[in-house]
Structure 1
Amino acid sequence: MQRAEFNIMTSELEVVAKGQVSQDAVVKAVEKTGHRVEDGDGAKSAVLHIEGMDCEDEVALVEKKMRSLTGLEAFKVDLISRKLWVSYDPSLLSVQEIIKSVAETGMKARMEREGVKRRAWWKDLQVLALFASGVLTVIAFVLDRRGIGFVSTALYLAAIIVGGFYPARMGLAALRTFTLNIRTLMVTGAIGAIFLGLWEEAALLVFIYSLGDVLEAYAVDHARGALTALVDLVPKEATVRRKGDELTLPVEEIRVGETMVIKPGERIPLDGLVASGSSAVDEASITGESIPVVKEKGAEVFTGTLNQRGVLEVEVTKLSQDTTLARIIHSVEEAQTKKSSYQRFGERFGKIYTPAMFGLALIVMVVPIWFLGGTWSEWFYRGLVVLVVSCSCGIALSIPVSVVAAIGNAARNGILFKGGVHLEGAATIQAVAFDKTGTLTIGRPQVTDVVPVNGHDIGEILQIASGLESRSGHPLGEAIVRKSREEGIAVSPASDFEALIGLGARGIVNGKMCFIGGERLFGERNMPLQSIQAIVWGLESQGKTTVVLGADEETLGVIAIADRLRPEARDVVRKLKQAGIKQVVMLTGDNEGTAQAIAKEAGMDAYFSRLLPEDKVEKIRQLRRGIGRVAMVGDGINDAPAMAVSDLGIAMGAAGTDVALETGDIALMSDDLAKIPVAFDLSKRTVRNIKQNIAISLIVIGFLVPAALIGWVRMVPGLLINEMGGLAVIVNGLRLLRSCRRGRPLRGD
């Protein structure tokens, strides 16, 4: 090996070697450090942060630039996060060329990993330019009133140049690509006012527009704050024990299997399992639940959660880019790109709005003078007013700000919406279907009865059953394995194990082919059930779930298992009905007696028992045909098919399983059912908030444009009203950061 250079900006490793150093050897050496290696010959991806992108018009400008690049295979632009995701062919295009292309729009792009933080206002050149413009305008106004015309005109011009530099740069960049945007309208309005000799109005126009621009940018930053707060939870360094020494290292350098030492008051840097120690950990950043959870040896801990009391030694189970919190952050960022119908409406409106206003202004300047009389300067001025009162990003920002504020605050409280489309969709749900085991019930069932038949004994029944169920991973199976261990029975996993979907399982134990499952499994195999029929009916009448065990062609016995309803389940069902859900039902593969008992206790409108996975899918389809849009609530694993055909899939306990985090349209990070009505309430309030914003925006436009046409409003008051309307809808959207009805405010209030 002669030389190895790593470029942290592009994540590229260049290796120069002589002799017998193979590519595979280099790849294996890198992978031992815990990093993945990708072939440099294929498509590459990067995430760029775009400075100065604060309006949908600028998004359109970046998109137009990206489409002109040869070698760019795919891209996504998000306004709220100010991010550009690109996939490109490195043989035709580089990241530096993409950054240069963005710069041609008047904005700046940089790699996301450089770390981008908003500058303090006294270091922000745009804010300082705004301040200077305001001071120059005031001085010019005073001098103008004292009759010092030449100096005041020069100061007005300086105020226009200083205050309008940033908007003008982007407006002219748009013109170079033959695109009209809101900044183009502002620049045109200012130039027109200067042309008419209205220096004072031109300077005030630039100042008010720039002030509104800065205030809107800061308001949008506040909406981004929910995501920023999640990112800030991730520690940059961790204390790791290596060869007996405790070293403080960047989390990116820590490998799976290493041991971290977490002291009281520190946040946990990476996901892992407690190797030693005991403490209480605040998991509110993941689950939204503020009550600390006791963590002892073997317990799972998550990145960003707070160790409160004792010292913990934690074995790392996931790299920094794969932790639960990293996946939550990624899901929230992805959610911003999955747009609702309202967001798509806003984008379509924005694309039509700016050219339409420009065209209308030109018509006002040219046409009425021929039919209505008046002077050319009078109609030219009215046309300028039409342009100016159209100069606000508030209309375009109002919808995405509402969506991102709601998604961000929900994420901080353990409710993960996978996109604006699902946030909007939850507001129109008419029926909710719940799975039973682990969803409505606590999910930790207990074995209550073991009834042998045909001369077999309890120990034999538990030994065979636990051998089969140790491979299944089903909650009922875990109860059987747990009972066997409590009784001191050794658990020997079955060989040739096979899960029989919706029926049970089979495998070889003690040299015999054994079966475990419900009566349907044994009925399909024509095995005798007469000896256990009365036993099964008796146990099921008590609300218990029964499992039958058999070997070869003989029935061995029956195991009864019971699970408790979650304490909040009945109240959740009641709240859903109060919120306007027409029907709440339970779908389960369990027997009739158990299903009836649980459904009655929970207050369900209906229940359906003995359902296979495909039967649940059909029931969801029936509900959709008979009632309307349906949500399915489950664990995201056993209920994946039913969730897939529902209009809205809600996965429980996503903090503990990657599958649940990926499966649902909404993922609840804890097993708290009370979050479900919170999610529906937040959805309805978000849709209502968006409708309010659209109405406010259209009312402002509907008043100002006709007022400008007939001369009722002048340039500066019109722009002021327009900017106030734009800020009003953004602030209204930000209200979704603050509260969510659950009898108490959401965290972050």
Structure 2
Amino acid sequence: MESIEQQTQTYRVEGFSCANCAKTFENNVKELPSVTGAKVNFGASKITVSGDVSIEALEKAGAFEGLKLSADGMKKAKTTTEVKETLPWYKQYETELFGLVFLVLGVVSSVMSGQSHPMTALLVLISSLVLGYQLFKIGLKNLTRLTFDMRTLMTVAVLGGVLIGEWLEVGIVVMLFRVSELLESYSMDKARQSIASLVNMAPTQAQIRRSSGDEIVEVSEIQIGDVMVVKPGEKLAMDGVVIEGTSLINQAAITGESMPEEKSPGDDVYAGTLNTDALLFVEVTKRIEDTTLQKIIHLVEEAQGEKAPAERFIDAFAKVYTPIIMLISVLVMVLPPLMFNQEFSTWFYQGLAILIVGCPCALVVSTPISIVSAIGNAAKRGVLIKGGIHLETLGRINAIAFDKTGTLTKGEPFVTDIVTMNGVSETDVFRIVYSLEKDTTHPLAKALTIKAENHIDTTTSLPLKAITALPGRGIKGESEGITYTVESPKRLIGDLSPTTGEQIQALEHKGKTVVVVTKDTEILAYMAIADEVHENARETLRQLHNLGVKKTVMLTGDNHRAALDIGNRLGIDDVQSELLPEDKLTVIEDLTTTYTNVAMVGDGVNDAPAMAKASVGIAMGAKGTDTALETADMALMADDLTLLPFAVKLSRKSLRIIKANVTFSLLIKLVALLLVIPGWLTLWIAIVSDIGATLLVSLNSMRLMKVKP
């Protein structure tokens, strides 16, 4: 039987109005007797709970905010908020309108009868209780626990305003604070929309072909091996492989690329993509929870919940900042009357205003909205950034190293030349090559295998054994005591005739990679392999330099002359060639010493050590590649290098916006506090400055959703 500690469940949460409330909810859940751990993901509106606990108990822990929870499924159910948005605007804001009516009546009563009149007080009190019930409920509870956050400050300020009879200002302050909460909630909802659109991208049902006929089946009931019938104009519900039909598929949901790609039998297709023009039969290869789209959604939601360094700093700063504001407020209330014989009511009022202006709303919201906006925008365009820390680090990148094959080149090399020695036939050479390379996944091996398959009957391959990879060199195998190899010519230089050596060098000068086929010590043939560079690689490198990247480096196991030819064509700063995997790691270490923040772009598998060592590991063309999605800090879902400058641009803009938000939030607090000196700070000026700052930093953060490649 599973222990309580091992039971972990994730729930979607509806109703968060601010990051502080999310933290309060997390702490409340942790205090439940059967809970061993809890973590709120404010960006994705989720909570992950370890322990045996019911939804009812969790909702009770979130009752202070009126939170509603639902089990985290593959398809997000329509929330109360989304249902609410379908109603007329006056129905959506019934509570706020009701409170506003009483506040307006209070203003009228104040004009006619004075602020201290009982009717004015009653009307404002009703308005404040309607609009600020949750505020006071949490604030008073925090006071009893000596927990100081923005709601504690607001509650103390409002109670103080009531004590000195500033009824009208109390009502205005509560109304404006409610507006501030609505603005923050709206900003976060907008920032989350890109992920919400991904969640709802794939259909919840699919047409499955059965022996008894086609039937519509819920995706949760579809099994691996089932055959989907996908009509033109329909989206795929599951990942699979095409077994019949040819059609163009729009893969924007996965890669961000809007140009359709032709798919035919044997090709992989993904849930959430759109079949545009022909009937397809697709064999399902993954269950719904394992589809590429679901992995992307899960990773992005996790990324949005991972705090960036700036966010962690602000959280820590706010814990110190709020008590300091409380202390300053008390000193302002007490010192002038005691030491300078000033009017107590005047400075008590100024102290209350300091409590309000000290609310860290804008400061707390300045970073999470930026992070969620940027990561969501990137995901929508086919760039998966797996956390705020990686977003920030990418924004500080000074050098980028690229693996050559499949990154700067198309990764689809082909054999261009074959030269045999001593009368050996091409058929015999290709039989050896096929026998050695047929089960190898390296791009060069694939090129050799494809060429061999076109020249021989593959059933006549050699019965090789002890096939062994030669790292950075090639591959070898044995048959009947004879050793066969396909390897780089650099180890065989002494065994090559001067003419053969010159011919190999000539091929390498043309940017080709040469391999030599040997039988024991006898050289049978050499072959030249070429790979086309990505047509947009040179422009990508130019854009990266324009964005402030100081150094670009190409890393490859190819010979230096071939690598240098490609490097010159691309305009790359430095070419490091003839590298073993461990050599790439050393290059990254050296670059980090010089440039501090270094990115490594590779395939996410062969370059894993170098990518892990780099400040940011970036997987290229990761659609459907589970290993790349799991191991890299960031993934370009399509084979499109132009997404890299977009990601760097987005990251750098995110850093600028976060710094601007924090600076502005603190500056406006300082300016408002300085108004205390001449005694000009009022309660409504304090709350308007706080709301204005919150609104401006939110709008500034949401600009990140508009950044385009």
Q: Does 1:142 align with 2:108?
A: yes
Match in the other structure for 1:317:
285
Deviation at 1:685, TM superposition (A): 0.7
Q: Does 1:505 align with 2:475?
A: yes
Match in the other structure for 1:465:
433
Match in the other structure for 1:68:
31
Tell me, in whole angstroms, the C-alpha distance in 2 between the residues paired with 1:737 and 1:39. Answer: 43
287 and 494 in structure 1: CA distance in 2 versus 1, 3 angstrom threshold = farther
Deviation at 1:47, TM superposition (A): 1.0
Deviation at 1:280, TM superposition (A): 1.1
Q: What letter is aligned with 2:71?
A: M
Question: Which SS does the other structure have where 2:272 is aligned?
Answer: coil
Match in the other structure for 2:77:
115
Tell me, in whole angstroms, the C-alpha distance in 2 between the residues paired with 1:338 and 1:637. Answer: 24
Whether contact under 8 Å (1:279, 1:296) holds in the other structure is yes
Query: Which of the numbers 276, 282, 293 marks the counterpart of 1:308?
Result: 276
Aligned residues: 698
133 and 96 in structure 1: CA distance in 2 versus 1, 3 angstrom threshold = closer
Tell me, in whole angstroms, the C-alpha distance in 1 between the residues paired with 2:30 and 2:112. Answer: 54
Deviation at 1:366, TM superposition (A): 2.3
Whether contact under 8 Å (1:62, 1:102) holds in the other structure is yes
Q: What letter is aligned with 1:497?
A: I
Q: Deviation digits for residues 312-356 of structure 1, max 9, x if unmatched? A: 111111111111111111111121233222111221122222222
Q: What letter is aligned with 2:207?
A: T
Higher alpha-carbon deviation: 599-608 or 45-54? 45-54
736 and 494 in structure 1: CA distance in 2 versus 1, 3 angstrom threshold = farther
Whether contact under 8 Å (1:49, 1:116) holds in the other structure is no
Match in the other structure for 1:551:
519
Please list, as runs of the form range in 1=range in 2, the aligned pairs for 1:163-312 lying within 5 A after superposition. Answer: 163-175=131-143, 177-312=145-280
70 and 161 in structure 1: CA distance in 2 versus 1, 3 angstrom threshold = closer
Deviation at 1:99, TM superposition (A): 4.5
> Taking every aligned residue pair, what percent have the same amino acid on both sides?
38
173 and 41 in structure 1: CA distance in 2 versus 1, 3 angstrom threshold = closer
Question: Which SS does the other structure have where 1:444 is aligned?
Answer: coil
Match in the other structure for 1:687:
655
Q: Deviation digits for residues 27-71 of structure 1, max 9, x if unmatched? A: xxxxxxxxxxx9567601111233333323223323433443455
Gaps of 5+ in 1: 1-37, 743-749
Match in the other structure for 2:362:
394
41 and 196 in structure 1: CA distance in 2 versus 1, 3 angstrom threshold = closer
Higher alpha-carbon deviation: 674-683 or 109-118? 109-118
Question: Which SS does the other structure have where 2:542 is aligned?
Answer: helix
CA-based RMSD of the aligned residues comes to: 2.4
Tell me, in whole angstroms, the C-alpha distance in 2 between the residues paired with 1:662 and 1:682. Answer: 22
Q: Does 1:52 align with 2:15?
A: yes
Structure-1-length-normalised TM-score:
0.88
Deviation at 1:556, TM superposition (A): 2.3
Match in the other structure for 1:615:
583
Query: Which of the numbers 483, 496, 521 marks the counterpart of 2:451?
Result: 483
Tell me, in whole angstroms, the C-alpha distance in 1 between the residues paired with 2:480 and 2:381. Answer: 49
Tell me, in whole angstroms, the C-alpha distance in 1 between the residues paired with 2:65 and 2:186. Answer: 21
Query: Which of the numbers 703, 712, 716 marks the counterpart of 2:680?
Result: 712
Tell me, in whole angstroms, the C-alpha distance in 1 between the residues paired with 2:192 and 2:208. Answer: 33
Match in the other structure for 2:348:
380
Question: Which SS does the other structure have where 1:368 is aligned?
Answer: helix
351 and 82 in structure 1: CA distance in 2 versus 1, 3 angstrom threshold = farther
Tell me, in whole angstroms, the C-alpha distance in 1 between the residues paired with 2:212 and 2:472. Answer: 50
Q: Does 1:357 align with 2:320?
A: no
Match in the other structure for 2:98:
132
Higher alpha-carbon deviation: 336-345 or 608-617? 336-345
Query: Which of the numbers 338, 346, 366 marks the counterpart of 1:370?
Result: 338
Whether contact under 8 Å (2:600, 2:616) holds in the other structure is yes
Tell me, in whole angstroms, the C-alpha distance in 1 between the residues paired with 2:154 and 2:129. Answer: 13
Whether contact under 8 Å (1:105, 1:174) holds in the other structure is no
Tell me, in whole angstroms, the C-alpha distance in 2 between the residues paired with 1:298 and 1:479. Answer: 19
Q: Deviation digits for residues 281-325 of structure 1, max 9, x if unmatched? A: 111121111111111111111111111111111111111111111
Whether contact under 8 Å (1:56, 1:393) holds in the other structure is no
Tell me, in whole angstroms, the C-alpha distance in 1 between the residues paired with 2:49 and 2:475. Answer: 46
Match in the other structure for 1:43:
6
Tell me, in whole angstroms, the C-alpha distance in 1 between the residues paired with 2:317 and 2:678. Answer: 24
Deviation at 1:439, TM superposition (A): 0.9
Match in the other structure for 2:564:
596
Tell me, in whole angstroms, the C-alpha distance in 2 between the residues paired with 1:312 and 1:349. Answer: 56
Q: What letter is aligned with 2:106?
A: A
Tell me, in whole angstroms, the C-alpha distance in 1 between the residues paired with 2:9 and 2:95. Answer: 32
Q: What letter is aligned with 1:655?
A: K
Tell me, in whole angstroms, the C-alpha distance in 1 between the residues paired with 2:477 and 2:5. Answer: 44
Structure-2-length-normalised TM-score:
0.93
351 and 60 in structure 1: CA distance in 2 versus 1, 3 angstrom threshold = farther
280 and 509 in structure 1: CA distance in 2 versus 1, 3 angstrom threshold = farther
Tell me, in whole angstroms, the C-alpha distance in 2 between the residues paired with 1:244 and 1:43. Answer: 42
Deviation at 1:394, TM superposition (A): 2.2
Question: Which SS does the other structure have where 1:442 is aligned?
Answer: coil
Q: What letter is aligned with 2:45?
A: R
Whether contact under 8 Å (1:133, 1:159) holds in the other structure is yes
Whether contact under 8 Å (1:51, 1:109) holds in the other structure is yes
Q: Deviation digits for residues 658-690 of structure 1, max 9, x if unmatched? A: 122222212000111111111111111111111
Deviation at 1:442, TM superposition (A): 0.9
Match in the other structure for 2:643:
675
Tell me, in whole angstroms, the C-alpha distance in 1 between the residues paired with 2:473 and 2:246. Answer: 41
Tell me, in whole angstroms, the C-alpha distance in 1 between the residues paired with 2:431 and 2:450. Answer: 11
Q: Deviation digits for residues 138-171 of structure 1, max 9, x if unmatched? A: 1222233233944333221111111111222332
Tell me, in whole angstroms, the C-alpha distance in 1 between the residues paired with 2:3 and 2:293. Answer: 29
